[in-house]
Amino acid sequence: MTTKTRSPISVCPWWLGPFLASPLRRLVEPPEPLLRPFVRPGMTVVEPGCGMGYFTIPLARLVGPAGRVYAIDVQPRMINGLVRRARRAGMLDRISTAVVQPGESTTQSVPPGAADLAVVIHMLHEVPDQAALLRALHQAVKPGGELLVVEPNGHVSADGFAASLGLAAEAGFRRSTRDVSGRALGALLVRA
């Protein structure tokens, strides 16, 4: 199958960042129950599409002082918001941030094979070339490492999600036997 590069898709506007990072979101989508089954102390985690850090800061807490989170976004304002929040939370020293430009490899700030886990939450549908992102994540994740993908139900169709998982398989990820509980559009994959 050939790699399809879709027409440009708009990214989440930066001014929505504070709403996405708001503590009120915990009422509908608390981050810890989603992340905790997959994150252990000392892990290295890569998170493209981190926004203003709604999942990044809990990830930094879960990996602990010996762990690291590589948080990556295309919008500098999202990263600026994340840095402010992470500093306030006392987690900034566990987080490496990077802004990627269109055309650059999303994971260029991550040493190849360094990540135990990649976390891609509510961002894959914004990426015009999902195949390229998934290949970059395959390079960043160590053999046997995992990729957690969650997409917004309703905003993304079941067929669209299945197509993304097909691209992940082409990139070299296979479906894990472990479930992502409570998520219609959630999957745990393993770097084969």
Where do contacts with ligand SAM occur on this chain (CB under 6 A)? 11-12, 20, 48-51, 54-55, 72-75, 78, 100, 106, 121-123, 126-127
Pairing of strands 186-191, 68-73: unpaired
Q: For residues 66 and 84, which CB has a smaller minimum distance to ligand SAM in the complex?
A: 84
**Shortest distance, position 172 Cβ to ligand SAM, whole Å:** 19
Residue whose CB is less far from ligand SAM, 127 or 141? 127
Output 80 or 144, the one with its CB closest to ligand SAM. 80
Backbone angles phi, psi at 97, to 5 degrees: -105, 150
Backbone φ and ψ for 84, nearest 5 degrees, come out as -60, -45
Shortest separation between residue 192's beta carbon and ligand SAM, angstroms = 23
Which helix H or strand E contains 191, and what residues bound it?
strand 186-191
Least distance (Å) between residue 61 CB and ligand SAM? 16
Q: At its nearest, how many Å lie between ligand SAM and the CB of residue 150?
A: 8
Comparison of 153 and 192: residue with beta carbon closer to ligand SAM: 153
Residue 106 neighbours by CB under 8 Å, 6+ apart = 48, 72, 100, 132, 133, 136, 137
User: At closest approach, how far in Å is the CB of 9 from ligand SAM?
Assistant: 8
- Please check whether residue 70 is in contact with residue 44, taking contact to mean a CB–CB distance below 8 angstroms: yes
Question: Residue 155's closest CA among 188, 122, 181?
Answer: 122
